[in-house]
Structure formats: C-alpha cells, structure tokens
Chain A
Amino acid sequence: MKNVEVTPGMFSSAETKPSLKTPITLVVAAFVVLVFFGFLGKAGDISFVWSDKREAIQLPPFVVNSMLFCTFVGAVLLLIGLLSIALSLRGRRTPVWLIAIYSLGAMMALLGWLATEATQGVQMIFILGNTLVLAIPLIFGGMAGIMSERVGVVNIAIEGQLLTGAFVSAVLGTMTGNLYIGMIAAMIASGLLSMVLASLAIKYLVEQIIIGVLLNVLVIGVTNFLYSAWVDDDSINRNFPGTFEKLPIPLLSEIPVLGQVLFNNRITVYLMFILVPLLWYVLFRTKLGLRARAVGEHPLAADTVGINVGRTRFWWVTIGGMVAGLGGASLTLGNVGSFGREMSAGLGFIALAVVILGRWQPIYVTLGALLFGFTIILKVWANQVSPGIPVDFITMVPYLVTLVAVAGFAGRVKPPAASGQPYVKG
C-alpha cells in the first residue's frame, strides 16, 4: 500500500510552535524570587527545623542567611525557567516533574523570605503536615471533578457536594456517636445529590452548569437553614463530632520528617493515598476506564460499540459525588472537628481549577491540590511569623496562583472532547 496520504487538519508538529506561556511565567516568577526575595531580601538568618521535639531521631536544623538562600533558589528557578524555554523552542513540553520541583523551590524561597523573624524557625513538619491535611478535601473534590468530566459531565456542584458531606458527616457523626457512620452517610448524601445532577443532565438534558449552580445555592441554603434553625440550638449533641483518631503506621511513621508528615495521620488521609492511585489505575488500565474515557471523548462512537453512554455517565458522576462527600467529611471529621456555615468556602470551585491545572490526571491534580494546601497553611503561618506582611496579600496568593496557573496552562490542555455536552441518540 502506498504511503502518500492526505491528512485533513493534520500538519507536522514541526510547523506548530508550542506555547511559550508556561516557560515565560516560570522565568518571570523566578526573577521575582531572585530580585525581591534575594537581592532586595532580608538580611537575617533563617532556620529550617526538620524534627519534632518528640521524635526519636532528631535532625539538626538547617540555618542559612535569608538573602543568600533566596538568591540561590532564585537562580535555580531561573535555570529551570530557561530550560523550559529551550524545551519549548525545540517543540517540547516542560515535563510536569520539572514544574513540581520548581514549585517546591518557590515555596522554600517564600518560607525563607518570610521567616527571618520567626523565633522557632520554619517548622517544616507543621507546614508540610498541614499542607497535606488541608489539601485533602481539595483532592477528593478534584477526583470527583475528574470522574465526572472524564465521562463528559461538567460538575460545578462539587462545592455543594463538599458542603453536604461536611454537614451530614458532622451531624450524623455526633448523633450516632460513630464517626465512621457519619463519613459513610456523607458519601451517601453527596452521592444522592450527584444523582440529581446526573439524571437532570443526562436524562433531561438540562444545561449542566445551571443545574450545578442551582444545586450549590440549594445546599448552601439548606445547610444554613438547618444550622441556624436546628443544629445551633444544641451543638453539643448535634455538631460536636470531633475528629478521627490519628493512626500512626508502625515503622513508616518513624522515618524522619516524612514519617510524621505522611504516616501519622487520620483515616481520611490514608483513604486519599488509596483512592488517587486507584482512580488512576481504573481510568487508564482497566476496561471500565477505557469505556468511561470513550464516553467523555466521543459518546456516539462509544454508543456504536455497544457502550451505554447514559448509564456510564450516571454512575461515574454519582460515585464521583460520593468521593466529594468523603471530601466534605474530611473537612469536618478529618480536620476541623465540627461543621460551620458555608465551611467549604469555595474549595469546590478551586477543585475545578485544580482539575484543569492537573489536566484531568489524578496524580497531577493531587500535586496541584497540594500546592493550594500549602498556600492555605502559608496564610495562617505567615501571619504568625511575620506580622509585617499584609494578611490580605497572603490571602490573595492562592487565587493568584490559580489564575496564573490556569491561564498559563490554558490552550495547551485539552479537556475531554465531549465535556459538558449532552448526548442525544439518533
């Protein structure tokens, strides 16, 4: 067979120039670190403290001059940025691990710049541990987003599902006295909420964004009402679940730094450790996942090979909702210990941004969520160690990062092709 073939819409990739948005963003941010944190930075010493006092193996703190440290890190970031530009010019993408290293470096520089006046130094275990705990609801929310968008349903209602999960887990956990029942009830409640979204979107073809927004508003209204009309009257018996016990994993939790951060946690964290790789495996290594992705990319094609598009979408969205419910439970039972009005506070929407940032890939989405977890804890911590910094500025950081990240990645990421499109037969 001859190989002279015409290719509609397909031209050699050499003729396409990859976007320089990401590399340029990286270089600009590196300059900011180098100049403002480095050259114009603070003169004092900073001390990175790696060990908790209670730990058996004590690591010595790492003490260094702030300006020197930030200059060094800034230079490294700049190198990564330049490497990224070079890759782009050769038509290659910046690998995700490089961006991950970059983010890590930028975080360290930010800590090193902020903490010159901190008397106890930079408590790395506190910061990393809280980053993880605070990222959990976001990660579950992100997984819920992946699960519904991968099958072609846009789930704006993650915010409402997190809130539902938070409310139900707190109230039922308190009333039954068993937090596990609270957690399972949260998953069921959010799953039911997802079924509403799924059936309206799939069966009745209602505009998905609108259902999502309505569900969010509905959940805020209902939880606020129940909270002030009923829960708040007797919080001790209705909204005082406390949190799950910490379950240190034998041996693993003894590892310096990482042990405390990763393996001395509540069940919600461990569930995340299981869920993320599991979702990755199911999506990319099983026929269930292949079919789900097919439905999200080209539902008609999936239908013509005998896959039930409606049913596939329904169950993925519903199970996604249950995962978001788990996220809600991890907000109350895994961290705060009680329910507060509108306590999801936009996490569901950030989860959607993280899904885009993480390119609909469970592992990348988790990394993105961790970045946000870090900015949340930074807000709390920076205020303590460096009172001079305007809180509003630090509060802005997570959203700024979202904006830059989403804008930087926009255009080069490709969502599932049929995301948001209802499928009508015939």
Chain B
Amino acid sequence: MKLELRNITKRFGTLVANDSISLTLKPGEILSLLGENGAGKSTLMNVLYGLLQPDEGQILIDDKEQKFAGPGDAMAAGIGMVHQHFMLIPVFTVAENVVLGHEPTGKAGNLDLNAARKLVKEISDRFGFDIDPDAKIQDLPVGAQQRVEIIKSLARDAKILVLDEPTAVLTPQETDELMAIMRDLSKNGTSIIFITHKLREVQQVADRIIVIRQGKVVSEVSPKSTAGELASLMVGREVDLDTKKKAAKVGAETLVVKDLTVLDDRNQQMVNGISFSVHDGEILAIAGVQGNGQTELAEAILGLRKIHSGSIQVAGQDLTKSNVRQVLEAGVGYIPEDRKKDGLVGQFTIAENLMLDGSFGKPFANGMQIDFAKRDEIAEKLIKDFDIRTPSADTLAKQLSGGNQQKVVVAREMSRDLRVLIASQPTRGVDVGSIEFIHEQIVASRDAGKTVVIISTELDEVLALADRIAVMYRGRIVGIVDAKTTREKLGKMMAGIAA
C-alpha cells in the first residue's frame, strides 16, 4: 500500500504547525520523520490518523484521495498508530484492549473474548511477542504495553504503522528489541513511519529520513548521514553535540543521602533504602528509565514528599524533616522534571516567575511589600544572562517556547546562592539550542564548586554531563559507576542487572 501526503497544512490559531508538508511512503519501507519537539511531527501524524482535520492538502492511498473524519476511517483504510502516550486502558486486559472498537461477538450479542484471546495469541506468536492475552495492562511493563499497541494495530490489518516517539519510555535493550520488531514488520510488508528526535535510532533503522523543522519539510536524507549533519538539519544551524567540560575538581562531601525510603501517593515503596553522597564540584547523574523512583527521590530531597525512613544531609545539616522552605534556605536549588506543572506559573509574567522562590525576603520583598523596581531589575539581568528569548519581562510564561520556559526555571534556581543543584530532566522537550545552553550552565555550576545532581532518563544527557553515574531500578540504586562506563553496560543496569 502506498501512502502520499500532499501539501498538508494545519494551523492552530496563528501558529502554523504543518506548512504544506508533502511526503510519500512506499510499501514495506521504514520512513523516519526527524525533528525537534514542536516541529510538527505529531500534528502531521494526528492529521493522517484522522484525529485532526487538515486545513489544506490531501491524503492519498494508492493514488486515491481519502477523507478521514475520525480514527475509525483511518483504521479502516489500513493505518495504525502507536501513540507516544499509549492508548491502552489500564484496567482492561490485553485482549479487551486489542479488540476494543471492533469486538468479535457471539450469537447472543455477547462479547466473544475467546476469539479475542485467539487473535492476540496468533499475532503475538507470529512476531514472538510473548504477550498473555489475559494480563491487565496496568500489570505489564512498558515495553510489553508497546507491543500490545502494535498488536492492536496489526489486529486491524494495518498496512501502515505510525510509531510516535516509541523509544522515549524504553530501556536501551527494549529499544533494540523494538528496532528488530520494526525490521520484521517491514519485511512482512508493513510500512512504518517512525517519528523521533533521537539521531542514533534513525541511523540504525530508517530506510529514508525526512527532516521537519518549524512545520516544514527541510530535506530528505539517507540514513548514512552523520549525527552532526542530521542535528544541523534539525536545528537549522551548526550544532556542537559534545558538551565540553574540564576535569572535575572534587571538594567536600555535601549531599549525603542515607537509607532513604519514600512512598508514593498510593503508599507504594518507590524509593527503597538508597544511599549515596555527592561532593562539591561534581555532577552525579541518576540514570534510569522513567518511573523507577527518580521523581520521588527528587521530591523527597526537596521536602515535597514525606520521608518514610532514612536521612538527608546537606553540608552537615540534617534536612530529613525539613519543609521545602527550609531546604531552599539550606541552599538547595531544584529544576523540576515538569516545568509546566511544577516549575512555572503559566499565568504569571517572567519577572514574577523569576522571583517565585524568593518572594518571602530580600532582595525581592521589603517586609510585606514586593520591591517592584528591584524585581524588574533582577528580571532584566537574568533574561540577559540566561539568554531567555522573550519580548519583555512582562510576557506571560506560558507564551514562551519550551526551551525558553526551561531557561526561566534554570535562571531562577541558579541565581540563588546554591550549595546543591538538583536538576530533574533539565532538557526534556527543549530545543537543541537550549539544550546546549542549559548543559553549559550546569557544567559551569559544577566548575564553580557546587554539588550537582542531575536526574535524566536520556542516556545521551547522562553521558554528556556526569562525573559519576548512579543507575536506579525499581527504587534501588543498581550501582554507581564512573562516567566512562559503556552505553551497553548502563543499559543493562537500567534493566536491573547489576554491573
């Protein structure tokens, strides 16, 4: 089956998310759509899948024009999609999820779950997926959930499979497995559109690469291009992929975490008796697949989450039972993993966001009153120092791009007199240009003798920044290794296999 998109344009208000994009997909090929976050890849695929209606342009399958009023039409035409956030119902079984929307029924109009089980089993066996049709989705590992998504599409005879950022939640090993599955599928005649911003994966698996930038197709390249070339195309200028850093000058032990156990909101043990210490002038990276307790660890250090047992010390001061303000006053800075949820108030201006953590005292406040002149002066300075691209300090935070929002958070945290910086996913959803800048700032912070902990699920980021790497798996630290450890070994540790 041949797919052609012709001059697809999609606007949201004044923003042009897709600007006359055209592409073709040949039967059985793996086409990679490469682009930064916000480049318009997902919008394009949602148009293809019928979730969004294009403002202009046509979708053609085997040279016949198609109109998709909803995902149902797209599926009927043979298009399947594995979304970045899985479209599975956690409390349903695999079989129920797979047949949802096109259920086999028995004579009495009842649901024929046996037929559903057989269907899952058959597809699962064909590709060696090893999926139990009666398992509940919420009990399955992420990698398996993703395979359920693929089964779901195949069960509907999808000839074209769209994978939207499929590796974001996988361990390196799971990623390799997925690549193998993709090749298998394409050999069996399924065409695949693979959306990603990870260069390595594109080089590994794609037959062809289309680079999208700011809603436009910038070029079509072969997978033999180097990572540097691809990155430059993606960003639109020369990019230096390597963060430069000098050797660490390690000082005194500052952050000491001992036997820390933390529960989540459902009383499950998310951090399970872990201990580590970090020194001045050192970056410790906490690596691991998302959801292995990193979030809870960061929240516990900051005093946002109650500590079940164990202790946390900063420069000899015990912060185990401290509240957030006491922790901040002890000199801890925190870049949260979700800037929109925890890092910024979208409806506040940049100047207001920059003073959020200092609003109870000097220099921003004089007694009960905010010193507006001082606030604006500081804001102007930080906007300049941290290269925040904004029309003014009075612009609302939500109007900035992801990268610039993140710079506001980084600027606020780093402008205080810090002992310890905790940065959780400091560059998630941030453009490559801003990643470079934020990485430089983090390294500069280390070189100024601060204690730095970064928590990241991106192995590239971990390897670029870390002096030492601690890998978390299921609430425990699998091991703490030095920064020269190989990718393969780290991958294994991320899957819980101790080094």
Contacts and interface: CB of A to CB of B under 8 A. Distances in A.
Interface in A369-419: 414, 417
A216 B146 CA distance: 45
A287 B139 contact: no
A53 interface: no
Given A6-B171, A16-B266, A301-B87, A290 B71 contact: no
B225 interface: no
A393 B218 CA distance: 77
A387 B270 CA distance: 56
A290 B100 contact: yes
B267 A16 contact: yes
Interface of A is mostly: loop
Given A2-B173, A6-B142, A11-B269, A305 B496 contact: no
B407 to A, nearest CB: 28
Interface stretch (B30-38, B226-234, B287-295): B287-295
Nearest to B85: A300
B48 interface: no
Contact of A306 (B71, B128, B129): B71
B177 interface: yes
Interface in A249-304: 281, 285-287, 289-291, 293-294, 297-298, 300-304
Interface stretch (B1-9, B105-113, B235-243, B378-386): B105-113
Interface of B is mostly: loop
A1 interface: yes
A307 B101 contact: yes
A6 B292 contact: yes
B474 A11 contact: yes
Contacts of B129: 1
B142 A1 contact: no
A286 B495 contact: no
Contacts of B92: 290, 293-294, 297
B494 interface: yes
Contacts of A2: 173, 177
Interface residues of A, number: 38
A7 B142 contact: yes
A16 B265 CA distance: 12
A95 interface: no
Given A8-B289, A304-B49, A305-B87, A1 B177 contact: yes
Contact of A8 (B70, B152, B169): B169
Interface string A71-92: 0000000000000000000000
Given A8-B290, A417-B90, A1 B128 contact: yes
Interface in A7-58: 7-11, 15-17
A6 B70 contact: no
Contact of B494 (A6, A8, A289, A301): A6
Query: Which residue, A4, A291, A414, has most C-beta atoms of chain B within 10 A?
Result: A4
Interface string B252-275: 000000000000101111100000
B130 A1 contact: yes
Given A6-B142, A303-B71, A306-B75, A286 B101 contact: no
A417 B91 CA distance: 9
B87 A294 contact: no
A287 B105 contact: yes
Contacts of A298: 87-90
Contacts of B497: 4
A15 B142 contact: no
B169 A305 contact: no
B301 to A, nearest CB: 20
A291 B99 CA distance: 10
Interface string B470-499: 000111000000000000000000111100
A285 B106 CA distance: 10
B90 A6 contact: no
B204 interface: no
Query: Which residue, A3, A297, A306, has most C-beta atoms of chain B within 10 A?
Result: A306
A60 interface: no
Contact of B474 (A7, A291, A414): A7
Contacts of B90: 297-298, 417
A308 B71 CA distance: 10
Contacts of B89: 293-294, 297-298, 301-302
Contacts of A245: none
A11 B268 contact: yes
Given A9-B291, A301-B87, A287 B142 contact: no
A4 B171 CA distance: 10
B13 to A, nearest CB: 12
A7 to B, nearest CB: 4
B144 interface: yes
A3 B111 CA distance: 31
Nearest to A19: B267
B316 to A, nearest CB: 33
Contacts of A426: 46, 51-52
Query: Which residue, B73, B87, B88, B105, has most C-beta atoms of chain A within 10 A?
Result: B87
A302 to B, nearest CB: 7
Contacts of A8: 142, 169, 289-292
Given A7-B291, A11-B474, A301-B89, A294 B269 contact: no
Contact of A5 (B75, B143, B264, B475): B143
B101 A291 contact: yes
Contacts of A10: 138-139, 141, 291
Contacts of B171: 5-6
B18 to A, nearest CB: 14
B289 A301 contact: no
A104 B264 CA distance: 37
A390 B475 CA distance: 55
Contacts of B174: 5-6
Nearest to A307: B101
Nearest to B91: A297
11 contacts: A6-B291, A6-B474, A8-B291, A15-B269, A298-B88, A302-B100, A304-B51, A305-B72, A305-B100, A417-B90, A426-B52
In the A-B complex, the 5 residue pairs with the smallest Cβ-Cβ separation, listed nearest first, are: A8-B291, A306-B72, A305-B101, A5-B141, A287-B103
Given A6-B473, A17-B267, A286-B105, 11 more contacts: A4-B496, A5-B171, A15-B268, A16-B267, A286-B110, A297-B90, A301-B86, A301-B89, A301-B100, A303-B70, A304-B71
